């Protein structure tokens, strides 16, 4: 019985954190991430990947969240597993290129798919099935959104397309996206709490740091409780997926519900603690707020996942 | 990460499950805050003890079986799954015993631990006072040194199990010139000693689960001081860490309650989306609490100490428990109001009773507001709130 990261996991996460600290913000770091082996983790060895599992991505995803990284680490990971499940020519063609960073493949529920405009192949989830779309003129429309670094495009599945994945393989991909996004949200949320703590310690009013007022202390403490309970739930969900456990879907939905709520809560509290300066583009805080809002609803919001759990448990 | 149990641990689980299936009373016992129920619960503790299951993590010489923390979690999971009786001796086992193990003399351990393990002697908590609630260091009870011991005087309150119990573990000021947490001493005090008066206080469920304990020059011999004279705060804090941490509230309790909630929801017929989501939310949280506990266990096994982060745990489980029971009452509709003994009560009235019990969670063991202060200042390092000086 062990629920926690190994030193190797932490090292991997630290390497990614170091990279993101040096090349943060809006910079395109996908090639650099590929250099560290991030998109290769879930690609099988036979397709020139690392043959790892979801647990091997935990530290990386949490650091990606902490850095408000916009790159589609989750969507590429889901694509890797989907392609290996699909197999055949599609897998042989795209998996080695995904692993090396030569091409980007993203998988996400439609209609708005992050980074679809720079992907070589897009896997779109619709009505419980997945469709492969090769982006070309007319198949996608770039959008503007609250979180510009997510680069959303509306992706149209051509009429008469045949699904590339259905049934259990398809369903598991939705669960995987939810669970891995939950891990990333934990990183986002914890950073938002840390920002609140830092600012509340620096900013003084009425002759004392605002962080010494119970009215703020208790709000920040409550935000932390939510984050700290979402983390092990998200780890557990990733583990359950890696092991192919029967209840992995319940764990994935549970993790996403908790992490979405925790991130929205942390965003609200952190903005309130920062006051007017938090409501501007002068601080970087807005990047984490935007990421909390966008990832909270990506792959199904909290309410969607609670309803999914209810449907499985109650019927 | 490895969330599997070892074959030995699974064997332990099977043994516990089998014993509980054969031994848990079919009908719930009367409340242990009645004379009849107290005796029935003591008898249950004796049976549990006879099977080596009352204090599984303790050393063999004191009545335990040196089970690991993982096995303790397994035991608790099975215990609550089986719907076994509440633990009448829990104050002693969870609040006093950790301090006894850390600070007790060999004689004290030999004298007090075995009858605690068997349920023969039941302990009541004696920390709180009328002026020392959240502000626990504001203890006014005093002890005066006399030949061979101390004369203890003062008033304790909110002493759970003191009405029918046998002993009190109390925090008392032994240095009359001291303030706050200095100059306090930890006493082990028999409730049948001359000078002790116990007055039961009826809780929201109607039973005298609490008591006021009036102490009028009660003689306590020197060998019933736990730890050093003047070090009572330190001794007590080793216990509160335990109360707020892993030990008092195991995931098994909440997992079992969440499963019962889901069963009720299945039987309730069509439910609106809001209620369905709330049922799912309780189930998700109980499971998250289990994962959090496994994470804590991993950290303890890695040699980390948990410290003020246990406040995060306390807020989570107490709020989860309350929310779960509120949802249970909504599921039951009109029958939600019916309590134990009502002819049409569902599940023997356990939802309304559980709701009342859960309401106490955010208050005892340090109110959740105190826990939030601890999180803000000691976990997150926010600037301290200016404190008034006394």
Give the Cβ contact number of residue B289 at 10 Å. Answer: 25
Judge if A78 and A121 occupy the same domain.
yes
Query: B380, A309: Cβ pair inside 8 Å?
Result: no
Q: How much is the pLDDT for B389?
A: 54
Judge if A150 and A57 occupy the same domain.
yes
Give the Cβ contact number of residue B56 at 10 Å. Answer: 21
CA-based nearest residue to A230, from A198, A247, A252: A252
Query: B382, A229: Cβ pair inside 8 Å?
Result: no
Judge if B254 and B222 occupy the same domain.
no
Give the Cβ contact number of residue A139 at 10 Å. Answer: 17
Q: How much is the pLDDT for B305?
A: 80
**Cβ neighbours of residue B367 closer than 8 Å, sequence gap 6 or more:** B134
For residues A21 and A60, give the distance between their C-alpha atoms in angstroms, rounded to a whole number. Answer: 13
In a domain, A2, yes or no: no
Domain residue limits at B29: 7-88
User: Does residue B84 register a pLDDT over 50?
Assistant: yes
Judge if B364 and B300 occupy the same domain.
yes
In a domain, B384, yes or no: no
Which residues on chain A are in Cβ contact (under 8 Å) with B277? 303, 306-307, 310
pLDDT category at B124 given cuts 50, 70, 90 is very high
Q: How much is the pLDDT for B388?
A: 66
Judge if A265 and A185 occupy the same domain.
yes
In a domain, B280, yes or no: yes
What CATH code is carried by the domain that includes residue A21? 1.10.540.10
Of A103, A122, A155, the domain-final residue: A155
The DSSP H or E segment spanning A274 is: helix A248-274
Judge if B254 and B371 occupy the same domain.
yes
Of B67, B88, B109, the domain-final residue: B88
**A–B CB contacts, 8 A cutoff, strictly below:** 160
Q: How much is the pLDDT for B51?
A: 97
The single-letter DSSP state of residue A2 is: B
Of B284, B302, B369, the CB nearest to A309: B284
Query: B280, A208: Cβ pair inside 8 Å?
Result: no
CB B288 within 8 A of CB A258: yes
Chain A, residues 91-120, CB within 8 A of chain B, namely: none
For residues A94 and A43, give the distance between their C-alpha atoms in angstroms, rounded to a whole number. Answer: 10
Judge if A146 and A210 occupy the same domain.
no
Asked if A202 is an interface residue toward chain B (Cβ–Cβ < 8 A), one would say no
What CATH code is carried by the domain that includes residue B19? 1.10.540.10
Judge if B44 and B140 occupy the same domain.
no
> Among A266-270, B12-16, B73-77, which stretch is predicted with the lowest mean pLDDT?
B73-77
pLDDT category at B246 given cuts 50, 70, 90 is very low
**Cβ neighbours of residue A43 closer than 8 Å, sequence gap 6 or more:** A49, A50, A51, A80, A84, A95, A96, A98, A99
User: Does residue B269 register a pLDDT over 80?
Assistant: yes
Judge if A146 and A81 occupy the same domain.
yes
User: Does residue A195 register a pLDDT over 50?
Assistant: yes
Give the Cβ contact number of residue B357 at 10 Å. Answer: 18
Write the CA distances from B2 to A58, A175, A229, B237, B298, integer angstroms: 14, 20, 19, 33, 10
For residues A68 and A61, give the distance between their C-alpha atoms in angstroms, rounded to a whole number. Answer: 10
pLDDT category at A152 given cuts 50, 70, 90 is very high
User: Does residue B390 register a pLDDT over 50?
Assistant: no
Judge if B43 and B155 occupy the same domain.
no
Q: Which two tokens stand for residue A185?
A: 């949200």
What CATH code is carried by the domain that includes residue B309? 1.20.140.10
Q: What is the pLDDT of residues A257-299, one digit of tens each?
A: 999 999 999 999 999 999 999 999 999 999 999 999 999 999 9
In a domain, A117, yes or no: yes
For residues A38 and A121, give the distance between their C-alpha atoms in angstroms, rounded to a whole number. Answer: 18
For residues A82 and A173, give the distance between their C-alpha atoms in angstroms, rounded to a whole number. Answer: 7
CA-based nearest residue to A109, from A126, A121, A129, A86: A126
In a domain, B390, yes or no: no
Judge if B147 and B209 occupy the same domain.
yes
Judge if A172 and A309 occupy the same domain.
yes
In a domain, A162, yes or no: no
Q: Which of A232, A246, A253, A265 to mutate to test the interface with B (most CBs of B within 10 A)?
A: A232
Among candidate residues B43, B120, B243, B344, the one labeled active-site is B243
Which residues on chain A are in Cβ contact (under 8 Å) with B299? 4
Judge if A262 and A131 occupy the same domain.
no
**Cβ neighbours of residue A46 closer than 8 Å, sequence gap 6 or more:** none
In a domain, B117, yes or no: no
Which DSSP string corresponds to B192-230? TSTTEEEEEE--TTSS--EEEEEEEEEEEEGGGEESSTT
In a domain, B97, yes or no: no
Q: How much is the pLDDT for B244?
A: 44
Judge if A234 and A297 occupy the same domain.
yes
**Cβ neighbours of residue A148 closer than 8 Å, sequence gap 6 or more:** A290
Judge if A143 and A235 occupy the same domain.
no
Judge if B279 and B354 occupy the same domain.
yes
Q: Report, in angstroms and rounded to the nearest whole number, the Rg of chain B calculated over CA atoms.
A: 21
- Mean pLDDT score of chain A: 97
What CATH code is carried by the domain that includes residue A224? 1.20.140.10
In a domain, B104, yes or no: no
User: Does residue B78 register a pLDDT over 70?
Assistant: yes
For residues B295 and B70, give the distance between their C-alpha atoms in angstroms, rounded to a whole number. Answer: 11
Residue of A nearest to B278 (CA): A306
> Among A126-135, B281-290, B293-302, which stretch is predicted with the lowest mean pLDDT?
B293-302
Which residues on chain A are in Cβ contact (under 8 Å) with B368? none
pLDDT category at B250 given cuts 50, 70, 90 is confident
For residues A152 and B288, give the distance between their C-alpha atoms in angstroms, rounded to a whole number. Answer: 32
In a domain, A122, yes or no: yes
**Cβ neighbours of residue B143 closer than 8 Å, sequence gap 6 or more:** B150, B151, B152, B153, B172, B173, B174, B185, B187, B220
Judge if A26 and A143 occupy the same domain.
yes
Write the CA distances from A123 to A79, B119, B269, integer angstroms: 7, 63, 39
Mean pLDDT of B145-170: 97
Query: B377, A309: Cβ pair inside 8 Å?
Result: no
Chain A, residues 70-89, CB within 8 A of chain B, namely: none
CB B287 within 8 A of CB B354: no
pLDDT category at A206 given cuts 50, 70, 90 is very high
Query: B299, A4: Cβ pair inside 8 Å?
Result: yes
Q: How much is the pLDDT for B241?
A: 58
Judge if A222 and A285 occupy the same domain.
yes
- Mean pLDDT score of chain B: 94
Q: Which two tokens stand for residue A284?
A: 């970087």
The single-letter DSSP state of residue A68 is: T
In a domain, A161, yes or no: no
Judge if A138 and A191 occupy the same domain.
no
Mean pLDDT of B81-104: 93
Which residues on chain B are in Cβ contact (under 8 Å) with A251? 287
Of A1, A214, A315, the CB nearest to B294: A1
Q: How much is the pLDDT for B242?
A: 60
Q: Which two tokens stand for residue B390?
A: 């006394």
Judge if B257 and B369 occupy the same domain.
yes
User: Does residue B262 register a pLDDT over 80?
Assistant: yes
Domains: count for chain B? 3
Q: Is residue B30 exposed (0-12), middle (13-18) or buried (19+ Cβ within 10 Å)?
A: middle
In a domain, A1, yes or no: no
For residues A233 and B389, give the distance between their C-alpha atoms in angstroms, rounded to a whole number. Answer: 42
Judge if B274 and B333 occupy the same domain.
yes
Mean pLDDT of A114-134: 97
Judge if B64 and B154 occupy the same domain.
no
What CATH code is carried by the domain that includes residue B200? 2.40.110.10
Domains: count for chain A? 2
Which residues on chain B are in Cβ contact (under 8 Å) with A224? 312, 375, 379-380
Of B230, B265, B296, the domain-final residue: B230
Q: What is the pLDDT of residues B292-342, one digit of tens each?
A: 999 998 988 888 888 888 899 999 999 999 999 999 999 999 999 999 889
pLDDT category at B4 given cuts 50, 70, 90 is very high
> What percent helix, strand, coil does chain B show, rounded to 5?
50, 15, 35
Of A155, A188, A212, the domain-final residue: A155
Express as a percent the part of chain B with pLDDT over 70. Answer: 97
Of B230, B261, B285, the domain-final residue: B230
Q: How much is the pLDDT for B243?
A: 47
Higher pLDDT, B174 or B236: B174
In a domain, B116, yes or no: no
Mean pLDDT of A47-52: 98
Judge if B224 and B128 occupy the same domain.
yes
Asked if A204 is an interface residue toward chain B (Cβ–Cβ < 8 A), one would say no
In a domain, A60, yes or no: yes
Of A155, A180, A210, the domain-final residue: A155
Is B243 among the catalytic positions?
Answer: yes
Which DSSP string corresponds to B158-179? S-TTTTT-SEEEEEEE--TT--
In a domain, B335, yes or no: yes
Query: A1, B297: Cβ pair inside 8 Å?
Result: yes
Judge if B299 and B199 occupy the same domain.
no
Query: A230, B288: Cβ pair inside 8 Å?
Result: yes
B213: β partners = B156, B198
Domain residue limits at A70: 7-155
Residue of A nearest to B69 (CA): A1
């Amino acid at each position: 019985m062990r629920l926690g990261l190994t030193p190797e996991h932490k090292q991997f996460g630290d390497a990614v954190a170091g990279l993101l600290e040096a090349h943060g913000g809006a910079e395109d770091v996908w090639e650099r991430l590929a250099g560290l082996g991030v998109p290769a983790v879930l690609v099988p060895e036979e397709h020139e990947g690392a043959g790892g599992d979801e647990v091997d991505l935990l530290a990386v995803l949490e650091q990606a969240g902490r850095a408000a990284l916009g790159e589609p680490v989750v969507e590429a990971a889901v694509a890797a597993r989907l392609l290996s499940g699909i197999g055949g020519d599609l897998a042989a063609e795209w998996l080695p290129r995904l692993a090396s960073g030569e091409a980007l493949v993203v998988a996400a529920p439609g209609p708005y798919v992050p980074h679809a405009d720079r992907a070589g192949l897009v896997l779109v989830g619709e009505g419980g099935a997945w469709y492969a779309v090769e982006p070309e003129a007319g198949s996608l429309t770039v959008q503007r959104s609250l979180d510009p670094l997510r680069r959303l495009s509306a992706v149209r599945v051509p009429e008469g397309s045949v699904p590339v994945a259905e049934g259990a393989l398809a369903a598991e991909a939705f669960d995987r996206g939810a669970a891995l996004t939950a891990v990333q949200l934990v990183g986002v949320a914890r950073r938002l709490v840390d920002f609140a703590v830092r600012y509340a310690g620096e900013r003084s009013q009425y002759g004392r740091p605002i962080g010494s007022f119970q009215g703020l202390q208790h709000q920040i403490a409550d935000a932390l409780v939510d984050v700290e309970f979402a983390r092990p739930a998200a780890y557990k969900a990733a583990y359950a997926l890696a092991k192919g456990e029967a209840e992995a879907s319940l764990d994935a939905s549970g993790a996403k519900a908790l992490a979405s709520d925790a991130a929205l809560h942390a965003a609200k509290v952190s903005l309130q603690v920062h006051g007017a300066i938090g409501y501007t583009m002068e601080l970087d805080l807005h990047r984490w707020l935007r990421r909390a809002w966008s990832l909270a609803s990506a792959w199904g919001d909290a309410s969607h996942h609670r309803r999914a759990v209810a449907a499985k448990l109650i019927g | 990460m490895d969330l599997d149990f070892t074959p030995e641990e699974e064997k332990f689980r099977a043994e516990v499950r089998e014993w509980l299936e054969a031994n848990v009373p079919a009908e719930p016992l009367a409340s242990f805050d009645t004379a009849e129920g107290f005796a029935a619960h003591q008898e249950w503790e004796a049976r549990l003890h006879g099977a080596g299951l009352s204090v599984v993590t303790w050393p063999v010489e004191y009545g335990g079986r040196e089970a690991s923390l993982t096995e303790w979690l397994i035991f608790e999971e099975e215990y609550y799954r089986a719907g076994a009786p509440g633990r009448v001796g829990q104050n002693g086992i969870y609040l006093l015993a950790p301090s006894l193990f850390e600070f007790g003399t060999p004689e004290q351990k030999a004298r007090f631990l075995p009858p605690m393990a068997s349920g023969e002697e039941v302990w009541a908590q004696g920390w709180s006072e009328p002026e020392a609630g959240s502000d626990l260091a504001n203890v006014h009870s005093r002890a005066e040194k006399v030949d061979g011991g101390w004369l203890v005087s003062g008033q304790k309150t909110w002493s759970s199990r003191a009405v029918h119990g046998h002993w009190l573990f109390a925090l008392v000021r032994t240095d009359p010139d001291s303030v706050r947490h200095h100059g306090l001493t930890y006493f082990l005090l028999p409730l049948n000693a001359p000078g002790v008066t116990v007055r039961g206080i009826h809780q929201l469920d109607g039973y005298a689960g609490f008591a006021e304990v009036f102490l009028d020059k009660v003689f306590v011999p020197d060998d019933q001081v736990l730890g050093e004279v003047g070090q009572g705060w330190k001794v007590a804090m080793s216990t509160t860490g335990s109360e707020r941490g892993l030990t008092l509230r195991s995931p098994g309790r909440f997992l079992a309650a969440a499963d019962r909630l889901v069963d009720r929801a299945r039987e309730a017929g069509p439910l609106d989306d809001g209620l369905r989501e709330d049922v799912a939310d309780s189930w998700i949280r109980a499971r998250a609490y289990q994962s959090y506990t496994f994470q804590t266990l991993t950290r303890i096994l890695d040699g980390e100490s948990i410290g003020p982060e246990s406040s995060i745990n306390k807020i989570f489980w107490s709020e989860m428990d309350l929310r779960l029971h509120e949802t249970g009452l909504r599921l039951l509709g009109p029958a939600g109001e019916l309590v134990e003994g009502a002819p049409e009560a569902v599940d023997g009235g356990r939802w309304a009773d559980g709701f009342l019990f859960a309401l106490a969670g955010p208050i005892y063991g340090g109110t959740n507001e105190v826990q939030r202060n601890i999180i803000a200042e000691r976990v997150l390092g926010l600037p301290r709130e200016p404190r008034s000086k006394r």
